[in-house]
A = this chain, B = another copy of it.
Amino acid sequence: MSQNRRIACYLILILFLCCIIQGELIWLEEIPESQILPEQNAQNGFEIYRDTLELVWEELVWFPVPESSVNEQATVAFENSWMAERNYGGKRSHEGTDLMASIDQAGYYPVVSITDGTVEQVGWLEKGGYRIGIRSGNGNYYYYAHLASYGREWKTGDAVAAGDILGYMGDTGYGPEGTTGQFPVHLHLGVYVPLGADKELAVNPYWMLKYLENSKLTYSY
């Protein structure tokens, strides 16, 4: 029996040691985390994001709506509506910029590509109407929505040059295919940067459009 008691004592002693060892293991893992996350990771993360955004700015070429060489009245106006509330299809925030037409006539204003790239999405979307999505060389996504019609029969994979006419400004969307007139004629522009494997993050196009206001093509319309 005294032998069994000796065994029992050994078991308790060893289990006690195991607990201490495990406790230290966990303690050792916590220190680096609490040191790295706030400082190092934040720094690196922000630098990555900063450089990601830099790749958007670098590839911006033309303002999406050319100037009219014949009609001084044909202008567009836009405000910083970043994350303003939208209601169609449930409450959501506005992830883009609306360029409003001074002449509320669908199909009147040409819409050109801001950047070089390739067509990734084209056709009808309930919220976006006739839309086209261009994937740029730097991997960013430019979304042009509510078009009245397309500049040509764009197909997925088609190459696009900055300044190419993607389509004509309209008021399509907010319903089944062909729906028009649910809002004034305007171009909705969205800009998305890649985020990890298959995620994207919307960034505010307003400042980019202000920057591009000095880079307008002139068309006769």
Q: Which chain A residues have a beta carbon within 8 Å of chain B's beta carbons?
A: 3, 6-7, 10-11, 14-15, 18, 21-22, 25-26, 29, 38-39, 41-43, 45-47, 49-50, 52-54, 57, 82, 193, 195-197, 199, 201, 203-204, 207, 210-211, 213-214
Contacts and interface: CB of A to CB of B under 8 A. Distances in A.
A88 to B, nearest CB: 23
Contacts of A211: 207, 210-211
So how many copies of this chain end up in the complex?
2
A168 B197 CA distance: 49
A81 to B, nearest CB: 13
10 contacts: A3-B6, A6-B7, A7-B10, A10-B10, A18-B22, A25-B26, A46-B201, A50-B201, A57-B207, A214-B214
Contacts of A53: 53
B43 A201 contact: yes
Contact of A22 (B22, B203, B207, B210): B22
A189 B26 CA distance: 47
A25 B3 CA distance: 33
B42 A195 contact: yes
A214 B204 contact: no
Given A14-B14, A42-B195, A210-B211, A203 B7 contact: no
Contacts of A54: 82, 204
A38 B41 CA distance: 12
Nearest to A19: B18
Contacts of A6: 3, 7
Contact of A18 (B18, B204, B210): B18
B3 A199 contact: no
Contacts of A210: 211, 214
Contacts of A49: 45-46, 49-50
